[in-house]
Amino acid sequence: MDVLSRPLTDRTLPLLAEGYAWLPNRMRDAAGSVVRTRIMGRPALALRGPDAVRFFYDERNVHRHRAIPEPVLGTLFGHGAVHTLDGAAHRVRKELFLPLLEPAAVSGLTDHVVAAWDKAVPGWSARDSVVLFDEAATVLTRGVHRWAGIPLDDGDAAATARDMTAMVDGFATAGPRHLRARRARSRQEERLARLVRDVRSGQVTAPAGSVLERVCGHRDADGEPLDEKTAAVELLNVVRPTTALAWFVAFTAHALHRWPGNRAPLADGDVAFATAFAHEVRRFYPFVPFLGGLAARDLFWRGAWVPAGGLVVLDVYGQNHDEALWGDPYAFRPRRFLERPVARDELVPQGGGDPAAGHRCPGEGLTVGLLEALAAQLARMEYTVPEQNLAISLHRVPTLPHSGVVLAGVGRAA
């Protein structure tokens, strides 16, 4: 029986159970880095590799409209978000986010987050121990609000950070985590829609040039301003993923604990090494499992076929651990990024292709800049890592060191 006529068994349940390992496991048994399967009742084609990235990000092949399931929109991205648009509607909405690619945005946001970190450290020192994931989320929430021009009382930062991380934590699961994510999203959308209304009515002034000002004044491809709810959704599409860097901060602490040789060059301010380290954290640790879109027409990829309307899935975690690209993919080795230039579509933890033309994350420069700065902060900080469960389950999406990384004796001599 050939690959085109083989009946397809629905793989939604194994996907939920195997998490990050599901696609890489299927890929191992398949020829040509392509898998044909069935997910959520639809035929699906899963791909990986730089050529597959270019195929996936070509709008003639793959659309996003109606591709993202409601449970993901209702928690992670928000209804009507930029992630769901194609063509001119996407290009015009994406202009809202393109200034995030500028170096001024990276240094502006990094300065605010580092200031919030420095302000928080004495409070960590006053306690016996802290959970780094929670503290980093609060610091990132404070920093991104200040930078984006969104008012936030200091006392509300921890609860707001919990809402931001809940939206990410609950998107890929049913049950209490999912309900928590939905409640967090409605609370935060309501707060920010109210703010947009106040800015537009003149009751609140948005700082000149801020994200808040840009979102309130933006006009979509149809010439209309964003309604309050969609404006809130797009403000959250800046605040939520910045707070989600807490996952990478926890992974950074995990890496510094497991491989302490990385600490000295970060603490010494070796800029090239810091960038390489940030890339290796994003490549090595599991965060985004895969990305999906809908086939715009009948598609063939390396001999495999999916009909128009079928799912096309880019195996992000698998590509970031593909032996053909990385040689020793399961070794944490930042210096691999100093040994050869890495092409645009090889490293894809935040999507691939051109961020200005397609759906690639516009926050990638911010992510790398913040990670460089926060890895250096951690490498210079005194703390101990008490006995705890640092295991990272590949079955849970998104995953985290089980303890959230507990640090003790922060800022005290060992």
Give the CB-nearest residue to ligand HEM.
Answer: 363
**110's tokens:** 């990094």
The smaller minimum CB distance to ligand HEM, of residues 39 and 410, is found at 39
Q: Does 312 bind ligand HEM (CB under 6 A)?
A: no
* 231 CB-side CA count, 13 A: 26
Estimate the share of the chain in helix, then strand, then coil, as percent rounded to the nearest 5: 50, 10, 35
The smaller minimum CB distance to ligand HEM, of residues 27 and 140, is found at 140
E-strand stretches of 85-176: 129-131
Q: Output the smallest distance, CB 300 to ligand HEM, in A.
A: 21
Q: Does 362 bind ligand HEM (CB under 6 A)?
A: yes
The smaller minimum CB distance to ligand HEM, of residues 94 and 336, is found at 94
Q: Does 310 bind ligand HEM (CB under 6 A)?
A: no
8-state DSSP, 363: T
Site string for ligand HEM, 95-124 (x = CB under 6 A): --x--x------------------------
Q: Does 165 bind ligand HEM (CB under 6 A)?
A: no
Q: Which of residues 70-99 bind ligand HEM (CB under 6 A)?
A: 82-83, 94, 97
- Cα separation, 8 vs 5, in Å, equals 9
Do 62 and 295 form a contact (C-beta atoms < 8 A)? Answer: yes
Compute CA distances 82 → 76, 97, 99, 164, 171, whole Å.
12, 9, 15, 18, 17
Site string for ligand HEM, 363-382 (x = CB under 6 A): x--xx---------------
226-259: b (≥16 Cβ within 10 Å) or e: bebebbbbbbbbbbbbbbbbbbbbbbbbbbbbee
- Contact segment (CB under 6 A) with ligand HEM among 191-199, 234-242, 299-307, 380-388 equals 234-242
Please give the residue ranges that form the binding site for ligand HEM (CB under 6 A). 82-83, 94, 97, 100, 237-238, 241-242, 244-245, 248, 287-288, 291, 349-351, 359-363, 366-367
